[in-house]
Amino acid sequence: EPEVTQTPSHQVTQMGQEVILRCVPISNHLYFYWYRQILGQKVEFLVSFYNNEISEKSEIFDDQFSVERPDGSNFTLKIRSTKLEDSAMYFCASSGRERSDGELFFGEGSRLTVL
């Protein structure tokens, strides 16, 4: 069964360092997302991406964050200069239909720990 894969599963970094989280969405999907969950809090929408551009982003997704789809298969989330409060589980998701009806397919998550 097709699935969304994310790497790394866990990354520890020092505050101020750049981090890139990688995702391989399901191959025929066109819509891509990043969500995150700070420990003990809600899963929060960060950004959606379609046709090689951001279609929507939340207030969390400030200038420190960027996304790209560099090679037609990977979908990456970059945090330029990590802060302690960026520590969270980051989930990538993809969807194949324009009106997904909420059926997003999520990866297992990448846990980011910022020290």
Partner 1 sequence: AQSVTQLGSHVSVSEGALVLLRCNYSSSVPPYLFWYVQYPNQGLQLLLKYTTGATLVKGINGFEAEFKKSETSFHLTKPSAHMSDAAEYFCAVSRLYNTDKLIFGTGTRLQVFP
Q: How many CB atoms lie within 10 A of CB 89?
A: 16
Task: Establish if 43 lies at the interface with partner 1 (CB under 8 A).
Answer: yes
Given strand 65-68, what is the order of strands in its sheet? 5-7, 19-24, 75-79, 65-68
Task: Establish if 42 lies at the interface with partner 1 (CB under 8 A).
Answer: yes
Site string for partner 1, 72-91 (x = CB under 8 A): -------------------x
The residues near 92 (Cβ < 8 Å, ≥ 6 apart) are: 4, 6, 21, 23, 25, 32, 33, 34, 75, 77, 106, 107, 110
Task: Establish if 101 lies at the interface with partner 1 (CB under 8 A).
Answer: yes
Task: Establish if 102 lies at the interface with partner 1 (CB under 8 A).
Answer: yes
Residues in contact with partner 1, counted by CB under 8 A, come to a total of 28
Task: Establish if 99 lies at the interface with partner 1 (CB under 8 A).
Answer: yes
The residue ranges that bind partner 1 (CB under 8 A) are: 3-4, 31, 33, 35, 40-45, 48, 55-56, 91, 93, 95, 99-109
